[in-house]
């Protein structure tokens, strides 16, 4: 099923969504158990609607960007609570700013660590060259 066909459909089986998004059905059931997805049931079969598919897209994007399931759940819950979406957008801005601050701090830490490791490597290489030179001089 290609993306265009999926966007036109109204109903999806769990296997359809798993295949489309390259995730396991177990992952989808996990998101359901956390209340992030609420499929209908036809007997014992889960039937996902277009809304569930859209929520799954947001869940997966949120996870990819490093947001917690709690953050994602809070964001999704505002969708139904505020039809103007103002509260949802404000929360999104707050969470994005928090995530950006964290990533920038991690980037600074990584840059410092890379500099330190580079310096250690240079010192170690210099030491090995000195030892090799001393060994050749003794020979």
Which runs of consecutive H residues, i.e. helices, occur in 34-85?
50-64, 69-81
The residue ranking higher by pLDDT, 36 or 85, is 36
Contact predicate 14/46, CB 8 Å: yes
Range in 10-24, 50-64, 67-81 the model is least confident about: 67-81
**Contacts with 101 (C-beta within 8 Å, 6 or more apart), sequence order:** none
Q: Which of 87, 85, 29, 82 is nearest to 59 (CA)?
A: 29
Region for residue 13 given its phi and psi (left: phi exceeds 0; alpha: psi -120 to 50; beta: otherwise): beta
The predicted model gives 100-124 an average pLDDT of 98
45-71 confidence digits (pLDDT tens):
889 999 999 999 999 999 999 999 999
Mean confidence (pLDDT) of the chain:
92
Distance CA 67, CA 111 (A): 23
């Amino acid at each position: 099923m290609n993306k265009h066909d999926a966007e036109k459909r109204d109903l999806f089986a769990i296997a359809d969504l798993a295949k489309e998004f390259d995730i396991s059905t177990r992952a989808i059931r996990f998101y359901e158990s956390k209340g992030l997805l609420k499929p209908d049931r036809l007997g014992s079969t889960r039937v996902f609607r277009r809304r569930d598919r859209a929520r799954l897209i947001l869940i997966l994007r949120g996870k990819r960007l490093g947001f917690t399931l709690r953050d994602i759940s809070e964001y999704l819950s505002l969708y139904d609570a505020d039809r103007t979406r103002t509260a949802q957008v404000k929360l999104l801005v707050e969470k994005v700013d928090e995530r950006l601050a964290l990533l920038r701090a991690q980037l600074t830490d990584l840059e410092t660590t890379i500099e330190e490791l580079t310096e250690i490597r240079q010192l170690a290489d210099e030491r090995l060259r000195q030892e090799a030179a001393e060994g050749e001089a003794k020979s």
